[in-house]
């Protein structure tokens, strides 16, 4: 069975066709990322430093600085972000600590509830807080004379919305502790507090920094929440919207977008830098820490979880309740009026279908693109030098680009009359692309982790067996990485379903997504239908998450013969 005809190969042919495809394909990915990420950001930059005639000028910045209220907006944005970070991170840290470092019953449940805010758009919290603490709110008294419309509401809703993002990071940070350190501390009979300060906190410090930066960036770039509950409190994210959508002043919008991009990009650059230093954090010989029951620690933590979980369910529940109440606050009869008349009859339900379509297509096209690119990067050779670092950088960049900024970049780039891709503007396709790019980094990292987790030599073995790398991708790599692939698909779907920020600039009347419809409904004062739409989104996301759990569960059961120890 020897390979015949090797010597008859044409001279100069030094690799098989499929081996030579890796470079060009990766180049293609780089080009796509450049067109859909780098060039829009470039257009944004150019838009900010050019005057109306197109000449270079910093006049827009000067003009911006002189605009009344802008300094206030910058200041408001920053201090709110700091306050939100200062509240969310400790809140999430204790919650994560309870999940990972205490012996609580129903650990999985606390975790799911802790992450529940991810299922809906950020506006869910804002709507629910209006209902809880607004003028007619049940708990209005808690706020005293302070109105919920303004910084108080923004902070509360942003804390709620950013909580799961911090929680995810901190759970991971606390899950990977070295049990030996605690044993050593015990051997030295260190007090509980001392152990916490000398072992737990330092061990989680990278997670804490990361969580703080993520929450800060989230708060700075969040747009829906201040829009709905912000009252007369100006912040930058809304200011972009006012400039671009309200006044069609794209140049000014670009300036504000740059202003927004800077702190967020900075936050993620710091995070990246900090995480790189973490490499040596946990040695391979570490022993996983297993908490032992201790009621003095567990009972207060259980109470804490119960409290927070109740609050979080109360927020989701209030949104659902609002969607069912006939006429808040005067007629509390329950009905499906808001769904039937507010959504279906009013034609707004199309928005939900649009969102399903957008989310479905985002998952359908985004998952293979992300995974395939990561595979090309990790497992294939070829392409010009510098291509790989470029693709790596392009894949990491979206994390630091708020959706609003990306959206403005898209308008400036794709709406330019002389852009050959102009036809994409205001189509469903561009919203799908914007979503894929916006959520690229997290998906890319998931794919990369999965790919790094499998044997490095698969490709070498296949090459030695004269099997094309694409066949090995299809027969081996993809099946082995299927859990990660499904995870990426779910992540893309849910985020595409719930996102507002980038899409708010890109939709046309025919492609209005549900999350933006909530904004519009709220704007018309239709809080009931807005809550109904929010509830629909939450239910959809929950259904997809359930489906995902089911599929992965079945997958692991079917593959248990070979997936041992992979979970």
Partner 1 sequence: MAHLEITQLSKRYGAFVALDGIELAVERGEFLVLLGPSGCGKTTLLRAIAGLERQDAGRIVHAGRDISQLSPALRDYGIVFQSYALFPNLSVADNVAYGLNSRRADRRLIHHRVEEMLELVGLPGSQQKYPAQLSGGQQQRVALARALATSPDLLLLDEPLSALDAIERVRLRSEIRSLQNRLGVTTIMVTHDQEEALAMADRIVVMRGGRIQQIGGPQEIYRAPGNDFVADFIGRGNLLDATGAGPQHVRIGDLLLRCAGPAGEGHRQRFYVRPEDIRLHDTLDQGENSFYAHVVKCEFLGAYSLVTLQAPTGDARPLVAQFSANYLGGREIRPGATLRVGIPAEHLRPLPEAA
Partner 2 sequence: MQLKHLIRHFAVAGLALAAIVPAHAEKTVLNVYTALETDQLKAYQQAFNSAHPDIEIKWTRDSTGIITAKLLAEKAKPVADVIMGVAASSMVVFDREKMLQPYAPANLKALNPRFRSAGATPTWVGMDVWGAAICYNVAEMQKQGLPRIESWKDLLKPEFKGKIVMPNPNSSGTGFLDVTAWLQMFGEKGGWDYMDKLHENIAVYTHSGSKPCVMAGAGEFPVGIAFEYRANVVRSKGAPIDIIFPKEGLGWDMEAIAIVNGTAKLEAAKKLADWATTREANELYAKNFAVVAMPGIATRLKYVPNDYEQRLVKNDFAWMGKNRDAILAEWQKRYATKSEPKK
Hey, what are 371's tokens?
A: 């995974």
Residue 146, helix vs strand vs coil? coil
Which one among 16, 135, 449, 566 touches partner 2, defined by CB under 8 A? 135
CA dist 401 and 41 (Å) reads 9
Q: Is 16 in the site for partner 1 (CB under 8 A)?
A: yes
CA dist 422 and 45 (Å) reads 19
Residues 469 and 18 sit within 8 Å (Cβ to Cβ): yes
Q: For residue 331, what is the enclosing H or E element?
A: strand 331-334
Q: Is the dihedral of CA 231, 236, 238, 242 positive or negative?
A: positive
464 DSSP assignment: H
Neighbours of 2 (CB within 10 A): 4
Task: From the list partner 2, partner 1, none, pick the one residue 562 interacts with, judged by a Cβ distance below 5 to 8 Å according to partner type.
Answer: partner 1
**Please, which of residues 547-566 interact with partner 1 by CB under 8 A?**
559, 561-565
Which one among 331, 385, 464, 564 touches partner 2, defined by CB under 8 A? 331
- Binding window for partner 1 (CB under 8 A); candidates: 7-15, 28-36, 283-291, 506-514: 7-15
Q: Is 152 in the site for partner 2 (CB under 8 A)?
A: no
CA dist 226 and 126 (Å) reads 8
CB of 462 to partner 1, least distance (A): 7
Q: Is 9 in the site for partner 1 (CB under 8 A)?
A: yes
**Please, which of residues 249-308 interact with partner 2 by CB under 8 A?**
250
Of 263, 246, 212, which Cα lies nearest the Cα of 77?
Answer: 263
Which one among 372, 458, 470, 556 touches partner 1, defined by CB under 8 A? 458
Q: Is 318 in the site for partner 2 (CB under 8 A)?
A: no
Question: At residue 288, what are phi and psi to the nearest 5 degrees?
Answer: -60, 140
CA dist 83 and 87 (Å) reads 6
Q: Is 450 in the site for partner 1 (CB under 8 A)?
A: no
Of 98, 93, 104, 100, which Cα lies nearest the Cα of 293?
Answer: 104
CB of 10 to partner 1, least distance (A): 12
CA dist 488 and 465 (Å) reads 31
CB of 553 to partner 1, least distance (A): 18
CA dist 185 and 192 (Å) reads 10
One character per residue 506-545, x = contact with partner 1 (rule: CB under 8 A): ----------------------------------------
Hey, what are 339's tokens?
A: 């769904």
Count of residues that interact with partner 1, criterion CB under 8 A: 36
Which one among 194, 327, 543, 553 touches partner 2, defined by CB under 8 A? 327
Q: What does the CA dihedral 348, 352, 354, 359 come to, rounded to 10 degrees?
A: 160
**Please, which of residues 474-503 interact with partner 1 by CB under 8 A?**
475-476, 479-480
Neighbours of 385 (CB within 10 A): 7
Nearer to partner 1, 202 or 384 (CB): 384
Task: From the list partner 2, partner 1, none, pick the one residue 135 interacts with, judged by a Cβ distance below 5 to 8 Å according to partner type.
Answer: partner 2
Which one among 183, 186, 294, 455 touches partner 1, defined by CB under 8 A? 455
CA dist 111 and 98 (Å) reads 10
CA dist 51 and 400 (Å) reads 27
Task: From the list partner 1, partner 2, none, pick the one residue 14 interacts with, judged by a Cβ distance below 5 to 8 Å according to partner type.
Answer: partner 1
Q: Is the dihedral of CA 496, 165, 122, 333 positive or negative?
A: positive
Q: Is 21 in the site for partner 1 (CB under 8 A)?
A: no
Of 217, 219, 243, which Cα lies nearest the Cα of 230?
Answer: 219
**Please, which of residues 318-357 interact with partner 1 by CB under 8 A?**
none
CA distances from 66 to 14, 60, 254 (A): 63, 10, 16
- Binding window for partner 2 (CB under 8 A); candidates: 167-175, 252-260, 386-394, 506-514: 506-514
Q: Are strands 325-327 and 331-334 parallel, antiparallel or unpaired?
A: antiparallel
Q: For residue 288, what is the enclosing H or E element?
A: none
CB of 550 to partner 2, least distance (A): 13
CB of 424 to partner 2, least distance (A): 15
Count of residues that interact with partner 2, criterion CB under 8 A: 57
Q: Is 147 in the site for partner 2 (CB under 8 A)?
A: yes
Nearer to partner 2, 56 or 145 (CB): 145
Nearer to partner 1, 15 or 546 (CB): 15
Binding site for partner 1 (CB under 8 A): 1-3, 6-7, 9, 13-16, 19, 454-458, 460-468, 471, 475-476, 479-480, 559, 561-565
Binding site for partner 2 (CB under 8 A): 68-69, 72, 130, 134-136, 147, 149, 226-227, 230-235, 238, 241-242, 245-248, 250, 327-331, 346-348, 353, 356-357, 360-361, 364, 417, 428, 478-479, 482, 508-510, 519-520, 523-527, 555, 558-559
């Amino acid at each position: 069975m020897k390979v015949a005809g090797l010597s008859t190969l044409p001279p100069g042919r030094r690799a098989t066709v499929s081996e030579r495809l890796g470079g060009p394909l990766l180049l293609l990915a780089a080009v796509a990322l450049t067109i859909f990420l780098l060039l829009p950001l470039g257009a944004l930059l150019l838009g900010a430093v050019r005057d109306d005639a197109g000449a270079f000028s910093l006049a827009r910045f000067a003009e911006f600085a002189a605009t009344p209220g802008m300094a206030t907006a910058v200041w408001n944005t920053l201090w709110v972000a700091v306050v939100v970070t200062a509240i969310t991170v400790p809140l999430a840290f204790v919650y994560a600590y309870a999940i990972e470092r205490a012996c609580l019953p129903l650990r999985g449940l606390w975790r799911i509830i802790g992450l529940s805010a991810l299922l809906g758009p950020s506006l869910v919290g804002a709507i629910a807080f209006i209902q809880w603490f607004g003028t007619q709110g049940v708990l209005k008294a808690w706020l005293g004379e302070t109105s919920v419309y303004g910084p108080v509401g923004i902070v509360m809703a942003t804390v709620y919305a950013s909580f799961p993002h911090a929680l995810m990071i901190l759970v991971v940070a606390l899950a990977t502790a070295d049990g030996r350190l605690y044993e050593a501390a015990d051997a030295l009979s260190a007090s509980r507090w001392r152990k916490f300060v000398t072992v737990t906190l330092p061990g989680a410090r990278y997670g804490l920094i990361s969580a703080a930066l993520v929450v800060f960036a989230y708060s700075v770039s969040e747009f829906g929440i201040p829009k709905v509950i912000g009252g007369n409190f100006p912040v930058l994210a809304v200011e972009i919207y006012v400039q671009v959508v309200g006044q069609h002043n794209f140049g000014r919008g670009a300036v504000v977008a740059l202003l927004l991009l800077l702190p967020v990009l900075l936050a993620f650059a710091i995070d990246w830098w900090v995480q790189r230093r973490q490499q040596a954090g946990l040695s391979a010989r570490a022993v996983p820490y297993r908490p032992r029951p201790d009621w003095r620690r567990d009972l207060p933590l259980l109470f804490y979880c119960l409290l927070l979980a109740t609050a979080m369910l109360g927020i989701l529940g209030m949104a659902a309740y609002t969607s069912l109440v006939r006429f808040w606050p005067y007629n509390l009869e329950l009905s499906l009026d808001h769904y039937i008349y507010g959504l279906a009859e009013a034609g707004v339900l199309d928005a939900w279908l649009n969102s399903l379509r957008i989310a479905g297509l985002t998952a359908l096209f985004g998952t293979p693109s992300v995974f395939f690119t990561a595979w090309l990067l990790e497992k294939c050779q070829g392409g010009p030098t510098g291509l790989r670092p470029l693709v790596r950088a392009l894949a990491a960049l979206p994390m630091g680009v708020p959706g609003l900024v990306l959206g403005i970049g898209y308008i400036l780039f794709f709406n330019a009359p002389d852009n050959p891709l102009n036809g994409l503007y205001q189509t469903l396709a561009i919203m799908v692309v914007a979503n894929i790019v916006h959520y690229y980094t997290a998906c890319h990292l998931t794919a990369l982790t999965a790919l790094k987790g499998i044997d490095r030599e698969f490709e070498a073995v296949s090459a030695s067996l004269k099997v094309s790398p694409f066949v090995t991708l299809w027969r081996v790599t993809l099946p082995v990485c299927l859990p990660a692939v499904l995870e990426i698909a779910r992540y893309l779907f849910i985020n595409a379903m719930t996102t507002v920020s980038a899409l708010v600039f890109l939709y046309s009347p025919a492609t209005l997504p549900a999350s933006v419809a909530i904004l519009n409904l709220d704007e018309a004062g239709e809080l009931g239908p807005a809550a109904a739409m929010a509830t629909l989104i939450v239910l959809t996301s929950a259904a997809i998450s359930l489906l995902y759990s089911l599929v992965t569960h079945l997958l692991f059961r079917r593959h248990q013969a070979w997936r041992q120890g992979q979970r």
